[in-house]
Structure 1
């Protein structure tokens, strides 16, 4: 679960008050949070264009006003960031395959962690190619399956359980590398 907490300021006392509840939420639901100052939104938008385009498509406001209501990411920024993310994913996945290739459990964790960014990249690519956005909340999952041309149950299983059936982690990781490469090739043609 990903969460953005938008703050006016980041104070030690306020952050300390969150520590216990935040730790429990991390353990219970694998919570990841970005603590973002309102003043940092324009810089974050520029630095993480693909992420914020996805936020613009799928956000749910839990409390307060919607600071991303008028969010706009330029096509140029989003495409640049998409290609950058896909290249980075490819390089990291190759390194992880070589470094952890004999450890199925560690590769399953990598699949769990990298499936989300790969799925978001797929949704971004399809949108940049002119496909209408898929309905949330499964849009990124469905987008990657559309690009793969088939369902990808191993990615869902790894994300949900952080495990994969014995003997499948290597093939799953190699498939992720192939998909990232294929998507990057498509992105370079846009």
Structure 2
């Protein structure tokens, strides 16, 4: 009987001790969750690894640059749908990879393309100095554009008067050669 009583006491003490340990572990786990902030961990990783090595950091930086450019061109920055770098990333690349920017609708694109003349006035050393913006063309559209450019070049060479220039204008799906007076083209 005495052994049963002592065994019961030992079991009760062990269960109390285990309960205290489980409570302590639970409190430590909850304390750890509050102390580890995912944003702080991300910031530490960015500084240790380097910000240019993390894809989402590069994507945010690209999106920021594009939105600043769109704001500079006085177009709605809210119309930016997606920004993606094209091509494989190389460590020691001399030139940055091109970006493909997807906009919400065609009207925003038209306004943006219309305001691109403001980039001509930008100093080459400024942030937007070496940026060029073009339509995203398919392979056939690029071939058609190249053919139109060579045709315009031939017309310029064959023009005997020298008063006009033949240039290619219009969106990729409707490129056409137009004739403009030389004085107007030189003013641009």
Larger Rg: 2
Q: TM-score, normalised by structure 2?
A: 0.29
Q: Which has the higher contact order (CA 8 A, sep 6+)?
A: 1
Query: Which one has a larger percent helix, Structure 1 or Structure 2?
Result: 1
Query: Which one has a larger percent strand, Structure 1 or Structure 2?
Result: 2
Q: TM-score, normalised by structure 1?
A: 0.29
